[in-house]
Amino acid sequence: MGLGISYSRFRYYLAVFAGNVASFVLQRILKSSASAMPGKVAMTIYPDILKLVDERCQNKIIITGTNGKTTTNNLLNHILREEYTRVLSNLRGANMLQGLVSAFLHDRRKEYDWGIFEVDEGSFKRVTQHLKPDYVLVTNFFRDQLDRYGEIEKAFQDILEALEPLDTTLILNADDPLVSNFRKLHKRNIYYGVAHNQQSTTQQKIVESRFCPACSSYLDYDYYNYGQLGGYHCPDCGFSNPEYDYQITGIDYQDHQYHYQFMDKDEKIKDIKFPYEGIYNAYNCCAALTTALEVGLPLDRVSHSIEHFEYHLGRMENFQFPEKITKIALVKNPIGLSETINSVSLDERTKSMLFVLNDNPADGKDVSWIWDAEVEKMGNVKNIKKIYCSGRRAEDIALRLKYAGVPVELVEVDDAMDQAIGKVLNEDVEIVYLLPTYTAVFQARELVLARLEGSSKKMSMIREYLKNLKLPGR
């Protein structure tokens, strides 16, 4: 027995050592965030390391779903870190097992007040075999990387099966029929959503889930907020939005920021400003507010914290150049791209845009999703001077723009992202929008920062070269 414990401890310390060596090389030499590889190295040596994380966190929240995980995770961290000093989290979007373990290696303690983790839908079942969350927050289900996840019904079923044995509280987006269908697990459910508001519509072209998850009849909608999120009911079995515990009751867009009216379950109303565009951010804020209030924090402090949130991960992130603003917005699936173009259309400043489309494994090898996005909304974007297309599949997004009716003389293809960024930043406009897919977002951010701060781009270029290097058997 004693030898067994000693061997186990030896493997743990060896795993931590090897993971930290990997982290040192990646961070200090290659200037990488090292958000996943150190965890992968450590788990190879000590596969149960995530169970230790479970033991060391007094309270745990897992955030899953398709869109909004990283933003909601960062919002919740921003709120809870003002109240607690020991919070462990994977804040950079590395949301598979190795990402959670890497976060632990970078911030290793004997005990944490909170563990807050975003978890990829495809990894949820494996993560919850190790981590037993007190709360599970589910944001939404949209088609995303079909070659990895399959259709959204499969993602729902996988998470349903993983949730079934857990003793946990579910925090559910009431406006997504699939998410609200987790009610059938009969756990303690808390519902949040965005009520009908001036941004709601009665028509929506991209609706991922048109059928009642209870009886498979066609759902009727009173309004849409975006995608299939809105007010729905089934005429046959009566399945409909559950009653909100927390909700956003009003949304206004002024001076390039959103103004929300938030109502808690005691019907106390709070006006909140949020500087990041997109109706999807109303849902992200509502999800973070709901969770923070459920764990016992006061509304005044939580709302103040949200208003002072700053994002640094390429999700509608601003970079202020002397004569223009540059904004980076990650796009990775049809709904995300459609809603981002919708947000850009609200901005009347003179602008140029750069789309970066990659097809690396983490993006999904299949880029046909761009044909499901409402790229035709580009026709609503005002005062646009030039559109650049770059990335491994630059020609595909240029072709999509052409079929969406964008004049070809506005579009220029440049496969080299660094050059394309240089060109779009040289445009004489008030604002530049960069819309990269997942594997391009961090490099795009680094290249923009290099121009803003005058720092070197060399390590970023070397790292991308190594990532794309084709080795035998790889």
pLDDT tens, position by position, 426-464 = 999 999 999 999 889 988 988 998 898 876 666 666 666
Given the DSSP bridges, would you call strands 351-356 and 384-390 parallel, antiparallel or unpaired? parallel
Predicted local confidence at residue 472, as pLDDT? 47
- Residue 42: pLDDT band (50, 70, 90) is very high
Look at residue 98 and tell me if it is in a domain: yes
Q: Are residues 435 and 456 in the same domain?
A: yes
Predicted local confidence at residue 27, as pLDDT? 82
Q: Are residues 115 and 137 in the same domain?
A: yes
| pLDDT tens column, 332-361 | 899 999 999 998 998 999 999 999 999 988
Q: Is the pLDDT of residue 469 over 60?
A: no
- Residue 474: pLDDT band (50, 70, 90) is very low
Q: Are residues 282 and 362 in the same domain?
A: no
* H runs (alpha helix) in 62-200: 69-80, 97-106, 124-127, 146-149, 152-163, 177-180
Contact 207, 199 (CB under 8 A): no
Annotation says 366 is catalytic: yes
Nearest-angstrom CA–CA distance, 274 and 158: 34
| Total number of domains constituting the chain | 2
Look at residue 297 and tell me if it is in a domain: yes
Please, what is the average pLDDT of the chain? 91
Look at residue 354 and tell me if it is in a domain: yes
Percent of the chain with pLDDT over 70: 93
Contact 329, 281 (CB under 8 A): no
Q: Are residues 135 and 157 in the same domain?
A: yes
* pTM (2 d.p.): 0.86
Given the DSSP bridges, would you call strands 57-64 and 112-118 parallel, antiparallel or unpaired? parallel
Q: Is the pLDDT of residue 264 over 70?
A: yes
Q: Is the pLDDT of residue 241 over 80?
A: yes
Look at residue 153 and tell me if it is in a domain: yes
Predicted local confidence at residue 468, as pLDDT? 58
Percent of the chain with pLDDT over 90: 73
Q: Is the pLDDT of residue 294 over 90?
A: yes
Predicted local confidence at residue 3, as pLDDT? 52
What are the b/e assignments for 23-42, b being 16+ CB within 10 Å?
Answer: beebeeeebbbbbbbbbbbb
Selected residue with higher pLDDT from 292 and 466: 292
Q: Are residues 303 and 340 in the same domain?
A: no
- Residue 34: pLDDT band (50, 70, 90) is confident
CATH number of the domain at 94, please.
Answer: 3.40.1190.10
CATH number of the domain at 352, please.
Answer: 3.90.190.20
Q: Are residues 282 and 324 in the same domain?
A: no
Look at residue 23 and tell me if it is in a domain: no
Look at residue 221 and tell me if it is in a domain: no
Neighbouring-strand partners of residue 220: 233
Domain span at residue 420 reads 317-460
- Give the phi and the psi of residue 156 in degrees, each rounded to 5: -60, -50
Q: Are residues 276 and 372 in the same domain?
A: no
| Angle, helices 49-56/37-45, rounded to nearest 10 degrees | 110
Which of the following is catalytic: 366, 372, 414, 415? Answer: 366
Question: Cα-Cα-Cα-Cα dihedral of 239, 137, 246, 71, to 10°?
Answer: -120
Q: Is the pLDDT of residue 406 over 90?
A: yes
Nearest-angstrom CA–CA distance, 141 and 178: 7
Q: Are residues 360 and 295 in the same domain?
A: no
Look at residue 81 and tell me if it is in a domain: yes
Q: Are residues 86 and 166 in the same domain?
A: yes
Q: Is the pLDDT of residue 106 over 80?
A: yes
Q: Are residues 414 and 274 in the same domain?
A: no
215 is in an annotated binding site: yes
Nearest-angstrom CA–CA distance, 453 and 446: 10
Q: Are residues 287 and 408 in the same domain?
A: no
212 is in an annotated binding site: yes
Q: Is the pLDDT of residue 286 over 70?
A: yes
Look at residue 203 and tell me if it is in a domain: no
Q: Are residues 174 and 276 in the same domain?
A: yes
